[in-house]
Structure 1
């Protein structure tokens, strides 16, 4: 009794965002066959009984370049690094700082202008959780028990300025290099951050 949450959301035409190579996020699926060496992101949302879930993964098709493998690992592990350090009472901007520090320390840059988010009865709720710090990290909303949110590091290689395609959806890094995206949904339960979308 679940349904795809993205179909028709903000007029998105498909059920899954499929982003290939230079397209980092919000890719509209097409009929072009995948080929060896492609880097492909899948962003999936579901709704069941009025509650929303959201997660994303980037994978390689066959053998991919080592630097792309590293990007995927950094995007994924940035979430785990943040989760290991999240505590109730800290600011969401401090989570953004953790994500930015992890990403940049491994030689990549976060995509600007896009973010993780709260989630629950709506697919996107407050707070906005950037992958970099804007303003002072010790300001803004605090993390509390019961909060549910998505962290989604989006990585570029050289420049994180976004370019929006003519279709109004596909988002590229301005360096037009391959970018990657990972996302997990997280809940704060008994003063601990737990991942709700852990892979099998």
Structure 2
């Protein structure tokens, strides 16, 4: 496994696409209202990214057809925008990738439309709080497996389970680089594998299910739900290790 180490100049380059990601997520969150279709939101996001000199990194990536992954209710990740209007009580996840001058940024949020159920509020809070709690604990020398266990423990303590089969990842000159960072341990030990080092840049993205973490791929071959068919949530930040600590790049 070869994990890229970025120097200060390269991290400065990475700040621009990640800032556009953050701004796009904020714009989508403000425009997402009852009656708006996810296809309309996708167009708003694409226009904004292009107007800021960026390129929607997900459009065409592995064949994905749109600028933004927009996942509604039981679709946890990789939802394809369509003409279905959002309604009060829906929860919707936005996953945005941006390329700018050959560097990539990536981030995601899940929000509620109108009044959502208490369970869905807890579901969204689990993804968001887990992400920030994990970021706060990152330090140079921590193994990625230790970070994975922290994420998994946090999700389980909040009464939910992580989606399996999908993970966080490195990012830089490509939208997906080494390492893979699962939200669950695949082996019992955390005392092996690579350690976090100064200059590493990667994405953490808790993906939350209610009862079952087993994934189910929809007939469009993109949208991912849980085998339990219940609502899920997703949050993501791109972070850089600067002066021994995690610096969030996907914040305005």
Q: Would you say same fold, with TM above 0.5?
A: yes
- Matching of residue 123 in structure 1 with residue 175 in structure 2: yes
- Matching of residue 161 in structure 1 with residue 224 in structure 2: no
Runs of 5+ consecutive residues of structure 2 not aligned to the other structure: 1-52
**CA separation in 2, counterparts of 1:75 and 1:138?**
26
Cα displacement (A) at 1:137: 1.3
**CA separation in 2, counterparts of 1:167 and 1:139?**
38
**In the TM superposition, what are the counterparts of 1:25-174 in structure 2 within 5 Å?**
25-135=77-187, 136-174=189-227
**CA separation in 2, counterparts of 1:34 and 1:166?**
21
**CA separation in 2, counterparts of 1:195 and 1:113?**
25
Which structure has the highest helix share of the two?
Answer: 2
Aligned-pair Cα RMSD in Å: 0.7
Cα displacement (A) at 1:90: 1.2
Q: Secondary structure at the match of 2:99?
A: strand
Q: Indicate the structure (1 or 2) with the bigger Cα radius of gyration.
A: 2
Cα displacement (A) at 1:139: 1.1
Residue 22 (structure 1) aligns with? 74
Residues 58-108 of structure 1 show CA distances to partners (whole Å, capped at 9, x for unaligned) of 000000001111111110111111111111111111111010010000000
**CA separation in 1, counterparts of 2:85 and 2:132?**
32
2:228 to 175, 185, 191: 175
- Deviating 4+ runs (over 2 angstroms): none
Q: Secondary structure at the match of 2:213?
A: coil
Q: Secondary structure at the match of 2:128?
A: helix
Which structure has the highest strand share of the two?
Answer: 1
Q: Secondary structure at the match of 1:120?
A: coil
Runs of 5+ consecutive residues of structure 1 not aligned to the other structure: none
Structure 1-normalised TM-score? 0.98
